[in-house]
Amino acid sequence: MSEPGEPDQVSDAASYAVDGVVPANVVRPTSVEALSAALGDADAAGQAVVVQGGRTAVGIGNVPSRYGLALDLSALDQVVSLEPDDFTITVEAGMRVSALQLTLAAHGQFVPLDVAWAEQSTVGGLVARGRGGMRRGRFGSVRDWLIGTSMVLADGTSIKGGGRVVKNVSGFDLPKLFAGSFGTLGAIVQATFKVQPMPAVDVTIVHPCPNVQGAAELGLSLSRTRALDAAVALDPTSASATGLGDGSSAMLALRVAGVLEAVESELTALQDEISGSTPKASDPQAWQAISNLEASPGDNARGLLRLGGPVSIQHEVYQAALGAAGDDARVWGYADSGLVFVSLAADAIASVSTSLRERFRPQGLSVIVDAAPPELKAKLDIWGGSDEGLEIMREIKRRFDPKATLSPGRFVGEI
Amino acid sequence: MLGKRAVLWRTEDLLVYEYDGTIDRGAPQVIAFPKNAEEVSATIKIARRYGLPVTPRGAGTGLSGGALAMRGGIVIAMNRMRRILEIDVENRTALVEPGVVNLDLGSAAAPHGLAYAPDPSSQRACTIGGNVAENAGGPHTLAYGTTTNHVLGLEIVTADGEIHWLGGPTRDVPGYDLVGCVVGSEGTICVVTKALVRLVPKPESVKTMLAIFDSVRQASSAVSAIVSGGIVPAALEMIDQQTIAAVEPVLHTGFPLDAEAVLIVEVDGGEAQVEAEAAVVERVLRQKEPREIRTATEESEREKLWAGRKGAIGALGRIEPNYYLLDGVVPRTKLPDVLDEVYRIAERYGLPVANVFHAGDGNLHPCLLFDERDPGVTERVLDAGAEIMRVCVDAGGAISGEHGVGAEKRSFLPWIFTDDDMAAMKGLRAAFGADDDFNPCKIFPGGHGCGEGQIGFQQRQIEQFGPDAHV
């Protein structure tokens, strides 16, 4: 055991590889001061740093152009402040998302954010990704629940933004800037969330459909009239992988939660529209399994595309993705918020991502290559963003991380 | 270039743009009324050529001095950019120009069964552009969030006159969340020329309750109890006796004049949900021993309650001609203690104080009432305001919940942020190309030519009730 404040020197650098690039050094600080010192030193020495936690999403992005130091935040995993009566919680970035939820559950609360591999994934990683999951149609994404953050900039300077109150326009909203910045602006060391009371009742309904695009269409139309927490369309393979089907048909999985009377009334209304489906008490493991489809940590053999567009084009996106991605592709998505995932063979990533971008760019479809074999990445456009706002983003990067120390080259426009 | 009718420069025309309902003043030399992003860009470029500061302005209802031209120059007013360009029913979004009045967007969405969730009390006057600048809230932010939760994309003009699109139809656009950076930046980063906003389905059912209390402390502790009861109401508002005294004789909302405080609690959603949640709210309220709980059964009764709430600030003019609105936020559980302290401070300074605020969010709005013609009173008001702000900060809170720091509260920013925090924020602003000539003397203390501490000690009398008085 090292003394508090002393960084743990971890010898096994290979296990900190990012896209096959192995860092020269690894530091796992046990205090923010130690983290700040390690980061500041690396910056001064011109050593590139990849900040990481549970490493479930560290593969997202371009191959790092340089990588000298792995900064592992997983030892910073404490609750800083738990205020159940104020419905807020502040935790260190290295805390596992599942631990955050367990801490809150003891008080009948939760953060309505879903993340793949919640038992490994850290809060810092959740914020750095900044995304919403299967319940985002109802609850939004990380940015909508994050009310404050503390960060350490590349030169070791500690800063913060936001606060611990649920409503705040005091100074610029730095938490929004850092949510979804993929570790390119600073190390997120603390996060404060507003939280929700847990619903009294949480029910799952699984409904077989002829195909995944049909499941998505039905899910979308139900979500327009009913109060749903989630409406997930799964192709037969994904349905069986999550334990929600036997692989013989596509599935629509609905989640309905709230006070008992409200849930009962929703279920009655839903029964009229999807007769024959049996509601059952929600199975958290099945929902986590659906989230887990979003990432395969440590396995980059296949490609994963994340397609986000307006719901009005969702059906066409499914059709186009299914048509282009080949027979062994898996396709699923969150039907009420227009998010579609495609898991496909590595050699299909380039052509499928390009054709989807070309076809749906005018309607605002974003196509992000979330996973790909590292050796292919150099030839792929991982983020696929337009140039809109890119100069401003580059200038932000220059001001927050002037030496391009943090995850250099990995983000949009090779930021 | 914009045409003669699109520019004001005569002293008498400029006068009205010196005010925004705060104590501060700022007199522009010119007001420009561009009608699109290109004209905003051209105006900004002219200003730069002549070294004139630029200040964007919506309806001027922000109440923190955000729309004031603190160092003169050109005010870019959004009055001619007030078209709703598209309501996309399928995707539940609307594309609007910044001068669109908040309530007009709501009215345009309503026939489609949709609503624009942020509903500031000034919604009959305030504009979407101003709402974006201040990250405006309103009574229904408790369940629905503030403006930032509802803006997906923005067309902006930067301080060097460049036009950009930020964000897009979904939150999936890769890159930094520049939309999130601009919302709430109080018009100090760029001028917003279009906004793509989310619309939400109108709830199937709504129930509004009025709980009448004989003590402020009982009422404020009921606020925490309701939320701890496992229900997040759509709105949870508190109105104290001083406010009732101003509102009731004018708006006849049925708030008892002898009540110490009333709470307005609203739940919405599906019918079964509303019935069940209303029952929970009522049970929790009863434990706090209110004098009476009334439930609005008719839509007209609901509207009356909300008219009383939203017209409250305007009605304060009945008591004293001027008010100074504070916008502190505290953790909800600190409300009872902080409110006690607010009353003590006001009493010590000999100032009447009216509290009407978003209790569920912990967002206080103490309004210090005064008559600017009384010698020395403005200084006392500002001192008392500073003390109240300090109490909020000491309770773990913030100095603004929805009105912005503006010109008025900027000297308090160092109470919550370090020099490094503020340097990072200024770096963000600079990355957008904004310099000290772009909406100067806002948010951050200091600044060239800002005349720290030289706040104009005058405020125009509120001429009539309702938020329109401040336009």
Q: Which DSSP category does B398 fall into?
A: B
The answer to whether residue A87 scores a pLDDT higher than 60 is yes
Amino acid letter for position A227: A
> For residue B176, which residues of chain A lie inside 8 Å, CB to CB?
177, 180-181, 185, 389, 393, 396
The answer to whether residue B417 scores a pLDDT higher than 50 is yes
Contact present, A183 and A407 (Cβ < 8 Å)? yes
Tens digit of each residue's pLDDT (9 = 90 or more) over A300-335: 899 999 999 999 999 999 999 999 998 999 999 999
Q: How many CB atoms lie within 10 A of CB B11?
A: 9
C-alpha span between A149 and A189 (Å, rounded): 7
CATH 3.30.70.2190 boundaries in chain A: 201-292
Interface list for B 156-175 with A (CB within 8 A): 158, 164-166, 168-175
Task: Compare all CA atoms of chain A with the CA of B358 and give the residue at the minimum distance.
Answer: A167
Q: Is B53 left (phi over 0), alpha (psi -120 to 50) or beta?
A: beta
State the fold for domain A201-292. Alpha-Beta Plaits (3.30.70)
User: Are B427 and A400 a contacting pair at CB < 8 A?
Assistant: yes
Nearest to A177 among B180, B186, B276 (CB): B180
CATH 3.30.70.2740 boundaries in chain A: 303-377
Q: Which DSSP category does B233 fall into?
A: -
> For residue A179, which residues of chain B lie inside 8 Å, CB to CB?
177, 180
C-alpha span between B271 and B277 (Å, rounded): 10
Check CB contact of B137 with chain A, cutoff 8 Å.
yes
> For residue A170, which residues of chain B lie inside 8 Å, CB to CB?
398-400, 405, 413, 416-417
A79-197 belongs to which CATH class? alpha beta
> For residue B175, which residues of chain A lie inside 8 Å, CB to CB?
383, 385, 389-390, 393, 411-413
Contact present, A171 and B421 (Cβ < 8 Å)? yes
Domain B84-201 shares a fold with domain B205-408: no
Q: What is the mean pLDDT of residues B137-158?
A: 96
Task: Compare all CA atoms of chain A with the CA of B363 and give the residue at the minimum distance.
Answer: A167
Break chain B into its structural domains and give their ranges.
Answer: 4-78+429-465, 84-201, 205-408
Q: How confident is the model at residue B470 (pLDDT cuts 50, 70, 90)?
A: very low
Write down the pLDDT at residue A117: 98
Q: How confident is the model at residue A380 (pLDDT cuts 50, 70, 90)?
A: very high
Interface test with A, best of B132, B171, B425 (most A CBs within 10 A): B171
Nearest to B69 by CA among B170, B160, B187, B163: B187
> For residue B402, which residues of chain A lie inside 8 Å, CB to CB?
167, 169
User: Which pairing describes strands A25-28 and A69-72: parallel, antiparallel, or unpaired?
Assistant: parallel
B84-201: CATH number: 3.30.465.10
Residue percentage of chain B with pLDDT more than 70: 95
Q: How confident is the model at residue A254 (pLDDT cuts 50, 70, 90)?
A: very high
CATH 3.40.50.460 describes domain A303-377? no
Q: How confident is the model at residue A10 (pLDDT cuts 50, 70, 90)?
A: low
Q: What is the mean pLDDT of residues A394-408?
A: 98
- What the block records as the tokens of B423 is 């340097």
User: Are A364 and B170 a contacting pair at CB < 8 A?
Assistant: yes
Task: Compare all CA atoms of chain A with the CA of B189 and give the residue at the minimum distance.
Answer: A172
Q: What is the mean pLDDT of residues A104-132?
A: 97
B205-408 belongs to which CATH class? alpha beta
User: Which pairing describes strands B74-77 and B30-32: parallel, antiparallel, or unpaired?
Assistant: parallel
Residue B236's H or E segment, with its range, is strand B235-240
CATH 3.30.43.10 describes domain B4-78+429-465? yes
Contact present, B390 and A147 (Cβ < 8 Å)? no
Q: Which DSSP category does A245 fall into?
A: S
CA distance A9 to chain B (A): 29
User: Are A197 and B363 a contacting pair at CB < 8 A?
Assistant: no
